[in-house]
Amino acid sequence: MFQTYNNLIEQGATGVVSVHISSKISGTFNSAQKALEMAKAGAKIEVLDSGFNSIGLGLISLAAARMAQAGENLQNVVSHARQAIDRTDMLGMFDTLKYMLRGGRISRTKATVASIIGVKPMLKFSQGTIVQAGLARTYKKGVEKLVDFVRTKKGILSLGIAHSAIPEEARKIKQRLGQFTREEDIVVTELGPALGVHGGPGVLLVAVQSE
């Protein structure tokens, strides 16, 4: 990151806003802070902890990028990014917890109980950490919970979906969420390897920014 920051400054960037995955689940933010300390003196760089990962982090980054592309100064971009962090919420459904167990993200007891009774765990972010947000008896009921989660939001500014190897399910829920905002504006992406290895196939996440 140190080299990235310096390269951007050398290329004429008037400022850099560096938005990262929650510091409570990754060391990336701390690494960015160390890189900031090593960067060239006087460089206008702001390092932000998004408090999220995946599509939640993505929506926050996009909000900041839109302001930068509109020509706003560093302070306004940072302010807007922080507002986006406060306005973002994310809920996810996991088909299984065995991959999170292997990665040490949850206890064996929780994973075993979920497996035995055949439920689909619902997880969300709270203060930068992943917490349980209920259970769904079936995958279909889990999707309904995701739709209801968005339904409760007022003044939706942006909406995103992330999935793990289930593009058809992502397409279907995108269509359903089109009732709350323009379907063509909904961002859809697939979990990257680093996150996919913990969630395994069948993960479906929905992130929303609202007023």
* CA 85 remoteness from chain centre: 10
**Contact between residue 158 and residue 83 where contact means Cβ atoms under 8 Å apart:** no
89-210 architecture in CATH?
Answer: 2-Layer Sandwich (3.30)
pLDDT tens across 82-137, in order?
Answer: 999 999 999 999 887 665 555 555 555 554 545 545 688 899 999 999 888 988 98
**Fold of the domain spanning 2-87:** Rossmann fold (3.40.50)
Q: What does the domain layout of the chain look like in residue ranges?
A: 2-87, 89-210
- The edge-to-edge listing of strands for the beta sheet with 156-163 is 129-136, 120-126, 88-93, 204-210, 156-163, 187-190
pLDDT tens across 40-81, in order?
Answer: 766 799 999 999 999 999 999 999 999 999 999 999 999 999
* Equal fold, 2-87 vs 89-210: no
Residue 82 tokens read as 């922080």
pLDDT tens across 163-190, in order?
Answer: 999 999 999 999 999 999 999 999 999 9
- 30 has pLDDT over 60: yes
pLDDT at position 116: 45
Report yes or no on whether pTM surpasses 0.85.
yes
